[in-house]
Amino acid sequence: MASMSNKYSADNAASRGKLEALVGRLTDRDITRAAQHGWTVGGVLAHLAFYDYRAVVLLERWKTNAIAPSPNDVDTINDSLKPIANAVAPAEIRRVVVEAARAADAAIDALDPGFLARVESEGTAVRLNRAQHRSHHLEQVEKAMAGGQ
């Protein structure tokens, strides 16, 4: 997959850099620390990984098939994911969240301009600006690390 860039590339890369830096300084104990709404820090990171991988899967599927709706009951998915995400081992969460962010950013960067425009207009199930979602949850992690859940 040839790397290109588009209007999302810089923001996504910057948020991925912040994510990688944060993950690099978290201890195992930090990853098990409580965050908001019953999540742990690791659970929040697993949540990010899930949605980055979801973006990759949908973009790949849409390249092969038509762009189609992918209904996403966010609250049900998140509530179902929470106990699994909170249980992921710290070493695995460090690896998978960075791997997922890199994969999502690479998939978005590689979109040719015509397909990118189609995804923007037809593919509302995917946020191409991954930075927005990451930034929100990185703030939650920072707050949890400061003791404010």
Tens of pLDDT, residue by residue over 21-59, are 999 999 999 999 999 999 999 999 999 999 999 999 999
- pLDDT score, position 52: 98
Q: Does the pLDDT of residue 1 top 50, yes or no?
A: no
- pLDDT score, position 35: 95
- pLDDT score, position 55: 96
> Which residue is associated with the tokens 């998140």?
78
Alpha helices in 6-89 (DSSP H): 9-25, 28-31, 41-64, 74-87
pLDDT in tens, 84-122: 999 999 999 999 999 999 999 999 999 999 999 999 999
Residue among 97, 9, 83, 94 nearest 50 (CA): 97
Per-residue DSSP letters for 52-70?
Answer: HHHHHHHHHHHHHS-----
Q: How wide is the angle at C-alpha 20 spanned by C-alphas 9 and 149, nearest 5°?
A: 110
> For the chain, what is the radius of gyration of the CA atoms?
15
Under CATH, which architecture does the 9-145 domain have?
Answer: Up-down Bundle (1.20)
Beta bridge partners of 34: 40
- Between CA 63 and CA 93 the distance in angstroms is 29
- pLDDT score, position 47: 97
* Domain boundaries of the chain, sorted by first residue: 9-145
- pLDDT score, position 149: 61
Looking at the whole model, is its pTM more than 0.85?
A: yes
Q: Does the CA dihedral 125-131-136-141 come out positive or negative?
A: positive
- CB atoms inside a 10 Å sphere around CB 10: 11
